[in-house]
Structure 1
């Protein structure tokens, strides 16, 4: 196995502070010549843990034209009409920094979340906030406890900064094994990270179990709950951990405008935490400095567009149901999803599967975990999902 890892001292010295961020994007930066905290096997695939790897295309620097781009969990319906109108109206102010306007957005978010502005920290997408958290907490070592498989952005940066990962396999029902995660905490644990609903599996851990876990464990170490996909649940806000903030718990909740709001390219996200915790994070960042003036206005417009959010949620569910039915007809099993993507096992080596699907102009992701190869497909428009199922029938059936 070939290991490519950057030196922590040089990493900090040269300011390569977002090395793991490219891992959040499909294949960007996945190069054998890049200095990433990434392990590659002999076939050039990414090894995350002994039980979790991702198949990567042979040529990582080529981005073929796709008829259905279903590999990045992007919302095909956004940005919303109100967000677009706000973006257009504010574009001429793009020569200005958005300090006052950013505070207005933070006030709006604080009211929506039921917290105070001091509990809100902005960032250009939630991945940036995950990574900044990892930089602050793991510069002097320590370990992060999370599920396996998990969303890797925070974990890769924690390793680049000098920390280690303690992966805990998901349970048979694909939920987080909270008991095992709690037992995995030791004197060197600096953070527990939970993505709920989880990426790349699309599965969820029950709200009541997670609330109790976070309340209890946060008395020992901070708990980071990544809620990027919670908006796709009909009662998503009721499933949030944000209520623990008012109880004084040391939890960090991350949200993004990239998913249900359909603003992935506009880069707006935020974290909610105790003021003391955010002050520690902001020692190395000016929080919302990376958010453009027009994006701030777009985010405020998006928050007001409840009609778009309802429509986006409904269309996503319809496409997901269509894929379920199509997979049933083709004889595939699948894992029920609570997100804008889903996974199902494939009877083909993942790298070959990627190549064959790409040849048919359909982009997906392929992983190996739980001893099987899996396809992860994002929900696009209904037209795109029909292209996907047609391609799948040609490749696997």
Structure 2
């Protein structure tokens, strides 16, 4: 920790639920920042693993005000709104417990807002580091990207794990959408933010490091949860239709082709030309998928990944089916329950497509 602390009139906000180790790492990282906030506000959603007791007893090692609050059962959006409402400074820096941060993270997010009163927000960057990956499936996901990172530009849709903005902007936008069940609140907030203001810049160097799940089951649960939120908000509809359509073609072509071919042979007494064509469509879709995954397979092995090439298509299909299922479940559920979020997006001119 630096011997001489630099402070700024900034409120750092986050939420937590059952993550004692994450909280401990959070304070260690924030108290080592080159620029320290004057205030940290944390809302606990009802932890039962000792996190809440830790927060209540924690004694900061730097001269900032620590505000902790608990609302049992609150979702992430509600927790963020409660934290920001309790913040006393106009500049809000937001993150998620469970990440890792280098010591210049907060300085690079907050400094543009401190320097320019006309600026409304700073889009933050993040990345996944290979050395942090816990399991073979996490390395499979990592191989799907030439670089697993968001190097933010002013028009990027920054996650609330790395973003800074003025409290008055949060008030003007109406806060985070609390009617979403769990996920996508920060994407909605970013969409509303960009629709409202152009006084935005970015911190393009990734200094926030996102941690990934350790099992394929957790990846599927994460994808289903995140896309459930997107469906509730009724965004990315084009993605849901195109991905769903392609998956259906690739997988239903085989049983449909078998049925059509069987009908042609036994019902019409002719060669299964139609069934064969349907099978060719399915085989073409699957072949294209495998061809598109070839660079990812090469990256996986080049980075020391173990196991056969089959891990990549298995991961691809498992996660995409989970995401698709979550999206359309969320879209149906959100027709009534998330009407407020959808209305806010449409009024802001944000297309569902």
Sort the TM-score into its range (normalised by shorter chain). Answer: under 0.3
Q: Which has the higher contact order (CA 8 A, sep 6+)?
A: 1
Structure of higher CA gyration radius: 2
Structure whose residues are more often strand by fraction: 1
Q: Normalized against structure 1, the TM-score is what?
A: 0.25
**Larger fraction in helix:** 2
TM-score by length of structure 2 reads 0.27
